[in-house]
Amino acid sequence: MKQNCEYKTSFIIMNTIILGAFASFSHFAYNLSGNSVLVGLFNPINESVWEHLKFMFFPNLLWWIIMYFIQKTNCETNLKKWIIASAIALVIAPLMVIFMFYSYTGALGIESVIVDIALVFICYFVALKLALHIYSYVSPNTLKVVISILLIVSIFILFIIFTFNPPHYPIFYDTTTGTYGIQ
């Protein structure tokens, strides 16, 4: 009989570290691949804020998919609730990065790689904590699941489209090359 698993803070911290490490590798994956377009679809291709959001989305998405199958073997895991929770995490993590990054760089004038790295871990932690809390309490229904799936798919598609054809807004601007999108 499967158990009703609880997602304790220690579980969230451990997985935050795993996601943060994966995101750190993701930051360099495009260059290490010899600028492979396929790798660039899922990893940052330049130093724009938008491209850095890829490592808040794609490793997170992969984590939610893999963890569902792991948890399903040991725990009573509700797929509808899992989809809703994953959508929450996949929206919260990148949004937090945007708000926090622009807050400390724009409002406070701070530019620090250490703060940037810490931000990744903080945002993953909060996104996982919130999403797994919601998983515990959400009452799933078809509308919530459909909206969650549409949200995840829409964000996925936007990352792909904006890799090749980003709007000319500051969030898409590569400050090191002065360009937008993949070159």
What's the pLDDT band for 45 if we cut at 50, 70, 90?
A: very high
pLDDT, tens digit, 9 for 90 and up, residues 5-39: 788 999 999 999 999 999 999 999 999 999 999 99
pLDDT the model gives residue 118: 93
For tokens 């360099």, the residue is: 28
In this model, does residue 3 exceed pLDDT 80?
no
Concatenate the DSSP letters of all residues of 46-97 into one string: SSSHHHHTHHHHHHHHHHHHHHHHHHHHHB---HHHHHHHHHHHHHHHHHHH
Say how far residue 130 (Cα) sits from the centre of its chain: 14
- Residue 8: closest CA among 129, 126, 122, 89: 129
Contact of 171 with 98, CB cutoff 8 Å:
yes
Three-state SS letters, 87-143: HHHHHHHHHHHHHHHHHHHHHCCCCCHHHHHHHHHHHHHHHHHHHHHHHHHCCCCHH
Domain extents in the chain: 9-180
Which tokens go with 72? 């399903």
Q: What pLDDT, on the 0 to 100 scale, is given for residue 105?
A: 86
pTM for the whole thing?
0.92
Q: How confident is residue 1, by pLDDT bands cut at 50, 70 and 90?
A: low
Q: How many CA atoms lie within 13 A of 96 on its CB side?
A: 21
